[in-house]
């Protein structure tokens, strides 16, 4: 047998690598080992980066000119261009479908239907939005939401409040599934009423579930096992509605128009050019999204249909933009997180702009512990008090919806000697129901829809509706905050 003169060196290299991989990670601050029960058991779990939640697409953030890209034909003057920065985040590839919302309703009925049937009824879409006094739309009232022919169509008739509740439910179902796949919990189809998985209640120690293989607890004073913590990095952030800035940024998809930090062509639509038809040879002349071309023309002429959809089309129809998002121009308009104000373009900050903050905190008992969850299994929250915020420099009140636009200080002709009791009332400026329809419940919705003309296909257009109202042309999609770095893998 011939001796390999390189073998000793290779074995030594292997041993060095092996020893290096077995070396315990230690604190750069104290020099103490992490994950060592002998010195107290402070744990640091391995973590690469945030995983992409089901249905989501990663949206790399950046700076862009938010606002008007064409003439303001509505003469609203509520969308002056301004440069802002949007952080990286995640967004649904398609609008939420009827099938997705039916799954949500099934779960609500399964968990709450016996003792709290009102929870299920409150979440039902308003199918009567399809009715028109001078049109025959009763088949849509009866079939659009529940018939399997429409299961992949975007859900409509959902208010802003209902859409927000759906996002919260989706957060819990995704995180519960992650714990089941990790082996921490077992499936529990018998969840009822307050005994259902809720991410916040679980983290607060108020939900046990069917425990399978709990995490080992390295704390020598602990019980030997523990639940997953936020610090472990397994649970995902909340699903939520996107902010107006996030939605508009994602819709434009300028990542496909950027060369060496230079946007080579500003877009009117989520695609290049100023036309609503594609110039690609294979699909030449095909419509880029679903909208009304002219009065009475919703889908074109028989034998040569243009967008081919008289009402909403399936959620993954037409061409995706450069982020891979479908129907960010037409099909259905979409709810976003913001409260509407006509002057937002000049008031909100230039990093992660958003109007609608109402700062809250958990309800706690006399000893400072988080209060027991409610009858639906959710933690209880309350507004931050003025006393609690009195020493803060960045905010002094919980409700900041009217800050600089609607509060007493921003109103013309304020009487500081005789101020009203409610100095935050929007009615001081906008007189809801008298001179405007703007209130603290006015929420922005973005994008054109199947009933709109081409003007509204621009992601810059903005409209509003009361958060409790619904429409046959407004749906929604969810978003999720990106935690950590702005670029995956870095």
pLDDT in tens, 214-253: 999 999 998 899 999 999 999 999 999 999 999 999 999 9
Give the model's pLDDT for residue 278: 64
Q: Where are the beta strands (DSSP E) in 44-111?
A: 56-59, 62-66, 82-86, 89-92
Q: State the pLDDT confidence band at 421, using cuts at 50, 70 and 90.
A: low
Alpha carbons within 13 angstroms on the beta-carbon side of residue 233 total 13
Q: For residues 17 and 182, which has the higher predicted lDDT (pLDDT)?
A: 182
Give the model's pLDDT for residue 15: 41
pLDDT at 282 over 80: no
pLDDT at 305 over 90: no
Q: State the pLDDT confidence band at 13, using cuts at 50, 70 and 90.
A: very low
Distance of CA 52 to the CA centre of its chain: 13
* Range in 21-30, 31-40, 294-303, 376-385 with the lowest mean pLDDT: 21-30
Write down the pTM of the prediction: 0.91
Q: State the pLDDT confidence band at 271, using cuts at 50, 70 and 90.
A: confident
pLDDT cut 90: percent of the chain above it:
71
User: pLDDT, tens digit, for every residue of 137-187?
Assistant: 999 999 999 999 999 999 999 999 999 999 999 999 999 999 999 999 999
> First vs last Cα of the chain: how many Å apart?
48
- Assess contact for 337 and 356: CB atoms under 8 A: yes
Q: State the pLDDT confidence band at 20, using cuts at 50, 70 and 90.
A: very low
What are 157's strand-pairing partners?
Answer: none
> Residue 82: in which H helix or E strand, if any?
strand 82-86
Contacts of 144 (CB under 8 A, 6+ apart): 98, 127, 130, 150, 153, 156, 311
Give the model's pLDDT for residue 401: 93
Q: For residues 412 and 370, which has the higher predicted lDDT (pLDDT)?
A: 370
Q: State the pLDDT confidence band at 488, using cuts at 50, 70 and 90.
A: confident
Contacts of 349 (CB under 8 A, 6+ apart): none
313, 151, 162: which is closest to 305 by C-alpha? 313
Tell me the CA distances in angstroms from 3 to 11, 106, 174, one per residue in order.
14, 70, 57
Q: For residues 189 and 13, which has the higher predicted lDDT (pLDDT)?
A: 189
Contacts of 115 (CB under 8 A, 6+ apart): 192, 193
User: Chain-wide mean pLDDT for the chain?
Assistant: 89
166, 171, 225: which is closest to 199 by C-alpha? 171
Give the model's pLDDT for residue 284: 54
Between CA 327 and CA 313 the distance in angstroms is 9
Contacts of 46 (CB under 8 A, 6+ apart): none
pLDDT at 483 over 60: yes
What is the sign of the dihedral through the CA atoms of 401, 403, 404 and 406? Answer: positive
The CA dihedral of 406, 408, 409, 410, to the nearest 10 degrees, is 30
What is the sign of the dihedral through the CA atoms of 322, 325, 331 and 333? Answer: negative
User: pLDDT, tens digit, for every residue of 93-138?
Assistant: 999 999 999 999 999 999 999 999 999 999 999 999 999 999 999 9
Distance of CA 118 to the CA centre of its chain: 25
Average pLDDT over residues 288-294: 88
Contacts of 285 (CB under 8 A, 6+ apart): 277, 278
Give the model's pLDDT for residue 130: 98
Alpha carbons within 13 angstroms on the beta-carbon side of residue 127 total 14
> In this structure, are strands 56-59 and 89-92 parallel, antiparallel, or unpaired?
antiparallel
- Assess contact for 59 and 89: CB atoms under 8 A: yes
- Assess contact for 466 and 439: CB atoms under 8 A: yes
- Assess contact for 164 and 240: CB atoms under 8 A: yes
Backbone angles phi, psi at 326, to 5 degrees: -100, 145
User: pLDDT, tens digit, for every residue of 311-333?
Assistant: 999 999 998 999 999 999 999 99
Give the model's pLDDT for residue 435: 83
Q: From the CA atom positions of the chain, what is the Rg in Å?
A: 27
Give the model's pLDDT for residue 388: 94
Q: State the pLDDT confidence band at 275, using cuts at 50, 70 and 90.
A: low
């Amino acid at each position: 047998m011939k001796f390999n003169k390189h073998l000793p060196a290779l074995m030594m290299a292997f041993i060095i690598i092996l020893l290096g991989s077995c070396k315990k990670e230690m604190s750069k601050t104290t020099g103490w080992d992490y994950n060592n029960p002998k010195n107290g058991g402070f744990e640091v779990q391995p973590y690469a980066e945030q995983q992409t939640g089901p249905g989501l697409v990663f949206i790399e953030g950046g700076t862009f000119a938010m606002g008007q890209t064409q003439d303001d034909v509505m003469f609203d003057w509520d969308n002056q261009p301004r440069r802002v920065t949007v952080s990286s985040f995640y967004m649904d590839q398609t609008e939420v479908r009827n099938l997705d919302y039916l799954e949500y309703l099934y779960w609500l009925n399964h968990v709450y239907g016996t003792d709290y049937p009102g929870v299920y009824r409150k979440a039902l879409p308003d199918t009567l939005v399809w009715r028109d006094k001078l049109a025959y739309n009763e088949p849509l009232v009866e079939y659009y939401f529940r018939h399997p022919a429409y299961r992949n169509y975007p859900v409509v008739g959902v208010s802003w409040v209902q859409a927000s509740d759906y996002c919260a439910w989706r957060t819990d179902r995704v995180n519960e599934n992650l714990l089941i796949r990790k082996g921490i919990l077992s499936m529990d189809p018998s969840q009822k009423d307050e005994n259902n998985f809720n991410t916040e209640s679980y983290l607060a120690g108020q939900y046990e579930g069917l425990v399978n293989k709990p995490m080992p607890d390295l704390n020598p004073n602990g019980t030997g096992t523990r639940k997953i913590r936020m610090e472990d990095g397994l649970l995902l952030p909340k699903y939520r509605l996107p902010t107006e800035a996030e939605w508009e940024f994602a819709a434009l998809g300028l990542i496909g128009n950027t060369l060496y930090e230079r946007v080579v062509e500003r877009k009117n639509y989520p695609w290049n050019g100023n036309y609503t038809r594609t110039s690609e040879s294979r699909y030449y002349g095909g419509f880029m999204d679903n909208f009304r071309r002219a009065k009475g023309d919703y889908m074109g002429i028989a034998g040569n249909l243009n967008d081919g959809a008289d009402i909403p089309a399936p959620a993954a129809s037409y061409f995706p933009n450069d982020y891979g998002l479908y129907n960010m121009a037409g099909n259905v308009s979409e709810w976003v997180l913001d409260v509407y104000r006509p002057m937002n373009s000049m008031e909100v900050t230039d990093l992660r702009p958003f109007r609608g903050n109402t700062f809250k905190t958990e309800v706690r008992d006399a000893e400072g512990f988080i209060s027991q969850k409610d009858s639906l299994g959710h933690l209880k929250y309350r507004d931050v008090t003025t006393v609690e915020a009195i020493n803060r420099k960045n905010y002094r009140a919980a409700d900041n919806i009217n800050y600089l636009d609607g509060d007493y200080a921003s109103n013309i002709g304020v009487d500081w000697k005789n101020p009203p009791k409610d100095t935050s009332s929007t009615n001081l400026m906008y007189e809801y129901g008298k001179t405007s329809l703007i209130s603290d419940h006015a929420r922005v919705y973005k994008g054109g829809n199947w009933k709109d003309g081409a003007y509204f296909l621009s992601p810059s257009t903005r409209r509003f509706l009361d958060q409790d109202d619904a429409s046959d042309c407004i749906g929604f999609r969810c978003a999720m905050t990106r935690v950590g770095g702005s670029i995956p893998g870095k």
